[in-house]
Amino acid sequence: MQKQEVAAVTTSERERVLSDVDRDERMVANAAGALDVVRASSATVDDQLAAISARTTEQADETAAVVDDVSGLSATIEEIAARTAEVNDQSERAATEAADGRAAAAETRDVLRDVRDASEAAVEEMATLQSLIDDIATALAGINEIADQTNMLALNASIQAAHADDSAGFAVVADEIEALAMDSQAQAESIDELLEEVGDATERTVDQLERATDEIDRGLAHADTTIGALEDVSDAVERTAAGVGSVDAAVDEQAETSERVTQRVERVAAGVREIDADVETIREARSEQTAMLTEIDEVLASVDAARLDRLAGAPRLSTGFPALDRLCDGGLIEGGRAVVRHDAEAVGDVVARVCASVLGTDWAVSLTPPPTLDRASLEATLSSVDPDFDTPEAERAGESVLDAALRSDRLFVLDAFDNWESGENVFDLRSQSLGAVNRTVDERRDRPLLVVGNIAGEIEVLGEEGARNALYENDDGVLDPRDTVLNLVDDDAVPESFAAFYAGSADQVVRAQQKENDWQVELTSSPSGSTGIERTTVAPTAPVRPRETD
């Protein structure tokens, strides 16, 4: 109860001390941060406008080239249409001529068939003639035989006539018979020679007719093949003519489409030119806005000059790093706001040492740990410093330094990443609101407070939209004039607009980069305007374990 009464008294005193000037200074700091956000966003907008302008210029050139290409394409399409029409006419004529050729070939085939039939008939007649010639030859052989016999009879008659009394008359008859036989034999031989010639001529004629028939058969085969080919040609030409007709129609449609495309591309080109003009107008307005931002910056600097002078001579909180304290003229400004921008998981070691250094003084710490700073790591660092929390020895028996700091309201842990076990003064931000926890911390603490905020943690808990809405809250009634804020900004996890706001509203801005086991710290902003770079060594006091994820 006594502790609650003391807390109530100190709260009342803080409210009286917190004057309107303090609120105004915080509002000015927020305005400066907002101005940096606007400036960063403006730079981004300028870059984007320049990129848009370049793209629109390029697009304008490309659309102009497209118009030229489409115009050329339209001309080509018209030429294709004309040639297609000509091909269509030629295809129709070819179809007609192919049909005529097919009819002529059919007629030729019919004539060849008639000739073949006539040749076959002539061959048959020649065969009959050959048979008759053979019969005549047989008859002539009989005549020759009769003539031979007649000659023999005539010879016998002559012999008989020589013995006869009237041999003269009988001899005459015998001579006549012999002469007749001889003449018959001579005529038969002459006819036989003629028949041989006729037979040879007949055979040659038959051979020629047979060859002619073979040629006619081959001609008929060629005629059939020609007719088939002409039919295929005719069908192909008809299909080609139909296809060409379709192409002709398609080309006409394409010509119309090309004309529509040309008109649309011309409208696009006109739109691109209008966009380019609008971008130029926006850029001119942006130039005016930049000048206005400069004026606002000058006004804010003038209003904030007194606060910066006061902060330049204000007491400092040691960070535990001599190199960093040298950069910051002794450390963190009491009652000021500082930002550490980093991109390394091992920043938890740095935060642990800063907390241990501040807890070694008469200050309390409200800590939102980064994901890599767990209970064991902070315990190891606090044990190396071993601050005295003015607790009875009986109460400290078997109690760790970390537990003593938590129990004595010297340390408050705001767990945003579900990385700490529950316990006294450990608040799970997933189940309690950040505002409610801050009010609880303010009620329990009885001394100045170093607030180690974690912007990535706020985004983790509130979501980006919620964290963005909370940017401009001044924590009225929670922070005392001496309370010091140190915000951690993870460049890999925090949007640039958040980083710009917190850096712009801070009195001291430090960029920390890990270089193997060393850190390079750079002071980029301070009330005195001084900047610089130092290197410092961070010896891990306990293994740093990354936060487990589901």
Answer yes or no: are the C-beta atoms of 258 and 71 closer than 8 Å.
no
In a domain, 83, yes or no: no
pLDDT computed for residue 444 by the predictor: 94
> For the chain, how many structural domains are there in total?
1
pLDDT computed for residue 172 by the predictor: 73
Question: In a structure prediction context, what are the per-residue pLDDT tens digits for the chain, which is 550 residues long?
Answer: 333 333 343 444 444 444 444 555 555 555 555 555 555 556 666 666 666 767 677 766 766 777 676 666 667 667 676 766 666 676 677 667 667 777 766 777 776 777 767 777 777 777 777 777 777 777 777 777 777 777 777 777 777 777 766 666 667 777 777 777 777 777 777 787 777 777 777 777 777 777 777 777 777 777 777 777 667 666 766 666 666 666 667 667 777 777 777 777 777 777 777 776 766 677 665 565 555 556 555 555 555 566 777 788 889 999 999 999 999 999 999 999 999 999 877 899 899 999 999 998 989 999 999 998 999 999 998 887 766 665 555 455 678 889 999 999 999 999 999 889 888 999 999 899 888 999 999 999 999 999 999 999 999 988 888 887 776 665 556 788 889 999 999 999 999 888 888 888 888 999 998 887 788 899 998 888 888 988 887 654 443 333 343 4
In a domain, 379, yes or no: yes
In a domain, 439, yes or no: yes
pLDDT computed for residue 527 by the predictor: 84
In a domain, 243, yes or no: no
In a domain, 21, yes or no: no
In the block, residue with structure tokens 């040492």: 353
CATH number of the domain enclosing 513 = 3.40.50.300
Give the HSE-up count for residue 29: Cα atoms under 13 Å, Cβ half-sphere: 26
In a domain, 508, yes or no: yes
349: left (phi over 0), alpha (psi -120 to 50) or beta: alpha
pLDDT computed for residue 455 by the predictor: 92
Query: What pTM was computed for the model?
Result: 0.54
User: CA-CA distance, 358 to 353, in Å (whole number)?
Assistant: 9
Answer yes or no: are the C-beta atoms of 326 and 523 closer than 8 Å.
no
pLDDT computed for residue 1 by the predictor: 34
Q: Which structural domain, as residue segments, surrounds residue 348? A: 313-537
String of b and e for 422-434 (b: at least 16 CB within 10 Å)? eeebebbbeeeeb
In a domain, 232, yes or no: no
In a domain, 13, yes or no: no
Q: Hey, how many other C-beta atoms are within 10 angstroms of the C-beta on 534?
A: 18
Which residue type is seen at 222?
A: H
User: CA-CA distance, 227 to 101, in Å (whole number)?
Assistant: 8
